[in-house]
A and B are shown apart, each in its own frame.
Chain A
Amino acid sequence: MSLFSSLSVSASGMAAQRTRAALLVENIANSETTRTPEGGPYRRKDAIFSTTQVGSEFASELDSQMQTGVQVSAISVDQREPEKQYAPGHPDADANGYVHISRVNPAEDMVDLVGANRSYQANVAAMSAVKDMIQKSIDLLR
């Protein structure tokens, strides 16, 4: 059934946008974090999308028609030098009294978050349209 694989495509889009939103929220939450397990201040993360072939669970080998969905293929980590802020009293300050803080720009992340939200909604709209089409096909049997 071809319509069911459209649901998988929209689901892959929703999952990818949700992952992206999670990373953006993490960035905002950690914009002032100076300690991380890797050492140094927090570094901004972002999702890299790529196309992927998705099929319905029931598609099996018989239905070789695969659909182009989306996946998070990598998570990019900001490699720029951290910003320095003069705060001699801070426990993480270096010998010269500077604290290394992340280069997260909350405004940038908020804008991206709005974009992720909009894309998620578009996928939901596509999914509900396909759902209605499947329902119409089922109604033919009544």
Chain B
Amino acid sequence: MDGISTSLERYMDLVSMRQKLVSSNIANADTPGYKTQDLDFQASFQSMLDGGSARPIEVQGLETKNDGNNVDLDREARLLAENALRFNIASNLVKSQIQKIRSAIKEGAA
């Protein structure tokens, strides 16, 4: 596959990784002492394109509750929707890449 497909694959990997962190945040919304986890999206994407890996970070600037937990469910709901849309876009792009290759094969055979 070409460069675009590879980038898209990395992008989808990153979005699903972020989705995992959002799932963890939501599951631990009532766990005392739990701190919200996220990825620095741009930095992680750059490092993954260069063959590195993404590192989760603790999100700063969120309001901490009395039990030491700082999960903001509204923030997580926003990220949930955002991730779904990002993944949707990437999967449609991959699909169109595959269709291009398929049509190249088929037109050649005709």
Contacts and interface: CB of A to CB of B under 8 A. Distances in A.
Contacts of B37: 68
Nearest to A132: B84
B17 interface: yes
B44 interface: no
A13 B91 contact: no
Q: Which secondary structure characterizes the binding site on chain B?
A: helix
Give the size range of B's interface with the partner: 20 to 34
Interface string B11-44: 0110111011011101111111010010000000
A48 B33 CA distance: 12
Contacts of B20: 2-3, 5-6, 9, 67
B94 A140 contact: yes
Give the size range of A's interface with the partner: 35 or more
Interface of B: 12-13, 15-17, 19-20, 22-24, 26-32, 34, 37, 73, 76-77, 80-81, 83-84, 87-88, 91, 94-95, 98
Interface of A: 2-3, 5-6, 9-10, 12-13, 16-17, 20, 48-51, 67-70, 115, 118-119, 122-123, 125-127, 129-130, 132-133, 136-137, 139-140
